[in-house]
């Protein structure tokens, strides 16, 4: 292992040197043109035309890191530029993200923690995650930032689109580092003590750093926020104790709901499975995660018994015309509840609040419908098992819909292609009797009645 791989330290430039170097580079026309030509491949429209101090996080807040950032750039000629990526996905294994949900406040002799979100949000888009009052987690932190660092707060910019699309041009970190050649200085700390951070450093940061140095002939300017000794403690993720009263107050605003729920023992709250901000109800023993095969899916975290309600399906009610006008990313999402009505998210944002639409199809499902609103377990569902229903249980006939999906479910009895009108397959009518959407259930029943009457 080379020296550089063992220590991220070698990537950092001392602040005063970095400022000098930045000013020098901004006066070299060839270098500036080279950077601009590289950036035109993936335009960073948000760039300011002055030397900037760049801090990029999923959500900015008023933690020790922000305090340090502010004190470091105070008195320099750098304009702060806080890039925010709330379009990123939430994961609690990432310290940075975890500490936006459970805040630790430093007091002289102790640490006090405050949970500000429901952690049943793994894999969700951060901007759609509510805080404990049902409002946006991003707004929660913006209130903290506004209070402590009003000047910095003004320089915050949502650059999710740019960040997330850079991944398609790969390696995305290279594009990020191109901002630190002549535009500004990136403030960061790569944590060699955290295995996850170290892997990120070796796989993404280091190769991009070397590549940027090769392309531009100069090093990206990265200034270290915390010292080695500071990095080894968890404290760099903490918040100043003096911020605690405000942080607590913000968890109690609009408090009618809070007062009511306080009458119940804490355990009852956990068992409700209600996700604040969500339009629907999801069984608390289920969670959404990546299937590794076809995007996200719903999984049982614990054993669920036959007959238990998995979801209460709620959301915007769409007619056929509205269904046909849905944007491409949610066009296949409607759950049909009548010949002309369906429940469906109308955008990616709404999809995040309607977790029932993450339930995938299987030709050997373990769930089916109860009426129009309930998705229920058709049999016991084991721990770790993916929750699935057969889309044929709700799809209209193909004269009414164009639905056609190649099936990858892998079940022995897989139909290979799932189509509108599959409810008409006699074998399925027997297997799923009682679990079709109510309107199909009625059609099937009327048909068999008319057959027996004939």
User: Residue 113 or residue 364: which is nearer to Zn ion going by CB?
Assistant: 364
User: Residue 177 or residue 363: which is nearer to Zn ion going by CB?
Assistant: 363
Q: How far is the CB of 417 from Zn ion (least distance, A)?
A: 9
* Near Zn ion by CB under 5 A: residue from 31, 248, 312, 407: 407
- CB-CB contact of 427 with 376 (8 Å): no
User: Residue 221 or residue 363: which is nearer to Zn ion going by CB?
Assistant: 363
Stretch that binds Zn ion, among 59-67, 177-185, 293-301, 401-409 (CB under 5 A): 401-409
Residues 25-84 that bind Zn ion (CB under 5 A): none
Q: From the CB of residue 129, how many other CB atoms can be counted at a distance below 10 Å?
A: 26
User: Residue 351 or residue 409: which is nearer to Zn ion going by CB?
Assistant: 409
Q: From the CB of residue 341, how many other CB atoms can be counted at a distance below 10 Å?
A: 17
- Paired strand residues for 317: 343
User: Residue 173 or residue 391: which is nearer to Zn ion going by CB?
Assistant: 391
In whole angstroms, give the CA distance from residue 191 to residue 324. 49
Stretch that binds Zn ion, among 325-333, 335-343, 362-370, 376-384 (CB under 5 A): 362-370
* Near Zn ion by CB under 5 A: residue from 54, 409, 419, 440: 409
Where do the DSSP E strands lie in 74-155?
Answer: 79-84, 102-106, 111-115
Q: How far is the CB of 411 from Zn ion (least distance, A)?
A: 5
Stretch that binds Zn ion, among 161-169, 242-250, 303-311, 399-407 (CB under 5 A): 399-407
Give me the helices (H) in 121-186, please: 137-148, 150-153, 160-166, 172-177
Query: 175-210 burial, b if ≥16 CB within 10 A, otherwise e?
Result: bbbbbbbbbbbbbbbbbbeeeebbebbeebbbebbe
Residues 6+ apart with CB under 8 A from 273: 281, 282, 283, 284
Stretch that binds Zn ion, among 44-52, 160-168, 207-215, 357-365 (CB under 5 A): 357-365
Q: How far is the CB of 391 from Zn ion (least distance, A)?
A: 10
Stretch that binds Zn ion, among 154-162, 164-172, 268-276, 404-412 (CB under 5 A): 404-412
User: Residue 31 or residue 414: which is nearer to Zn ion going by CB?
Assistant: 414
Query: What is the per-residue binding string for Zn ion in 170-209, x denoting contact by CB under 5 A?
Result: ----------------------------------------
Q: How far is the CB of 81 from Zn ion (least distance, A)?
A: 49
User: Residue 190 or residue 389: which is nearer to Zn ion going by CB?
Assistant: 389
In whole angstroms, give the CA distance from residue 88 to residue 84. 9
In whole angstroms, give the CA distance from residue 346 to residue 321. 13
Stretch that binds Zn ion, among 48-56, 68-76, 103-111, 406-414 (CB under 5 A): 406-414
Q: How far is the CB of 409 from Zn ion (least distance, A)?
A: 3
Q: How far is the CB of 209 from Zn ion (least distance, A)?
A: 46
- Paired strand residues for 370: 374
Give the SS3 label for residue 162. Answer: helix
In whole angstroms, give the CA distance from residue 161 to residue 142. 20
Residues 412-431 that bind Zn ion (CB under 5 A): 414
* Near Zn ion by CB under 5 A: residue from 83, 177, 363, 376: 363
In whole angstroms, give the CA distance from residue 33 to residue 227. 35
Q: How far is the CB of 408 from Zn ion (least distance, A)?
A: 7
User: Residue 312 or residue 414: which is nearer to Zn ion going by CB?
Assistant: 414
User: Residue 5 or residue 332: which is nearer to Zn ion going by CB?
Assistant: 332
User: Residue 318 or residue 363: which is nearer to Zn ion going by CB?
Assistant: 363
Per DSSP bridges, beta strands 360-361 and 417-419 are unpaired
Residues 6+ apart with CB under 8 A from 54: 81, 83, 179, 180, 183, 184, 185, 186, 187
Take residue 217 and report the two structure tokens written for it: 């002939």
Stretch that binds Zn ion, among 128-136, 224-232, 310-318, 403-411 (CB under 5 A): 403-411
**Sheet order of strands, 367-370 included:** 281-282, 309-312, 374-377, 367-370
Q: Which of 198, 219, 230, 190 is nearest to 9 (CA)?
A: 190
User: Residue 63 or residue 386: which is nearer to Zn ion going by CB?
Assistant: 386
User: Residue 15 or residue 409: which is nearer to Zn ion going by CB?
Assistant: 409
Total site size for Zn ion, rule CB under 5 A: 4
- CB-CB contact of 100 with 141 (8 Å): yes
Q: How far is the CB of 415 from Zn ion (least distance, A)?
A: 6
Q: How far is the CB of 407 from Zn ion (least distance, A)?
A: 3
Stretch that binds Zn ion, among 20-28, 104-112, 145-153, 360-368 (CB under 5 A): 360-368
Give the SS3 label for residue 180. Answer: helix
- CB-CB contact of 219 with 13 (8 Å): yes
Binding site residues, Zn ion, CB under 5 A: 363, 407, 409, 414
């Amino acid at each position: 292992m080379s020296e550089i791989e063992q220590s991220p330290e070698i990537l950092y430039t001392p602040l005063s040197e970095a400022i000098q170097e930045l000013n020098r580079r901004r006066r070299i026309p060839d270098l500036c043109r080279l950077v601009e030509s590289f950036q035109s491949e993936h335009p960073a429209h948000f760039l300011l035309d002055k030397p900037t101090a760049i801090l990029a996080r999923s959500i900015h807040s008023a933690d020790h890191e922000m305090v340090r950032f502010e004190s470091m750039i105070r008195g320099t000629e750098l304009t702060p530029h806080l890039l925010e990526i709330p379009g990123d996905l939430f994961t609690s294994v990432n310290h940075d993200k975890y500490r936006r949900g459970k805040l630790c406040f430093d007091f002289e002799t102790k640490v006090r923690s405050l949970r500000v979100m429901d952690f049943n949000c793994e894999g969700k888009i951060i901007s759609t995650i509510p805080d404990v009052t049902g409002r946006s987690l991003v707004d929660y932190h913006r209130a903290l930032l506004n209070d402590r660092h009003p000047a910095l707060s003004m320089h915050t910019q949502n650059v999710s689109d740019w960040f997330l699309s850079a991944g398609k041009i790969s390696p995305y970190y290279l594009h990020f580092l191109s901002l630190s050649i002549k535009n500004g200085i990136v403030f960061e700390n790569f944590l060699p003590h955290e295995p996850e951070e170290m892997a990120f450093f070796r796989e993404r940061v280091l190769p991009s750093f070397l590549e940027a140095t090769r392309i531009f002939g100069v090093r990206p300017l990265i200034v270290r926020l915390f010292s080695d000794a500071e990095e080894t403690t968890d404290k760099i993720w903490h918040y100043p104790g003096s911020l605690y009263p405000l942080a607590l107050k913000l968890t109690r605003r609009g408090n009618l709901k809070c007062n009511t729920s306080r009458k119940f023992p804490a355990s009852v709250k956990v068992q409700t499975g209600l996700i604040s901000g969500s339009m629907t109800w999801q069984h608390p023993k289920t969670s959404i995660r990546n299937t590794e095969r076809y995007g996200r899916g719903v999984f049982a975290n614990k054993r669920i018994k036959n007959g238990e309600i998995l979801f209460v399906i709620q959301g915007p009610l769409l007619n056929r015309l509205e269904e046909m006008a849905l944007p491409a990313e949610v066009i296949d999402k409607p759950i049909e509840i009548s010949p002309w009505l369906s429940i469906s998210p109308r955008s990616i944002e709404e999809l995040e609040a309607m977790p029932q639409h993450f339930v995938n199809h299987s030709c050997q499902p373990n769930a089916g419908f109860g009426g129009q609103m309930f998705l229920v377990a058709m049999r016991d569902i084991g721990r770790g098992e993916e929750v699935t229903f057969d889309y044929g249980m709700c799809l209209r006939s193909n004269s009414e819909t164009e639905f056609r999906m190649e099936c990858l479910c892998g079940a022995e009895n897989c139909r290979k292609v799932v189509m509108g009108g599959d409810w008409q397959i006699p074998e399925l009518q027997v297997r799923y009797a009682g679990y079709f959407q109510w309107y199909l259930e009625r059609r099937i029943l009327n048909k068999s009645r008319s057959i027996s009457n004939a």
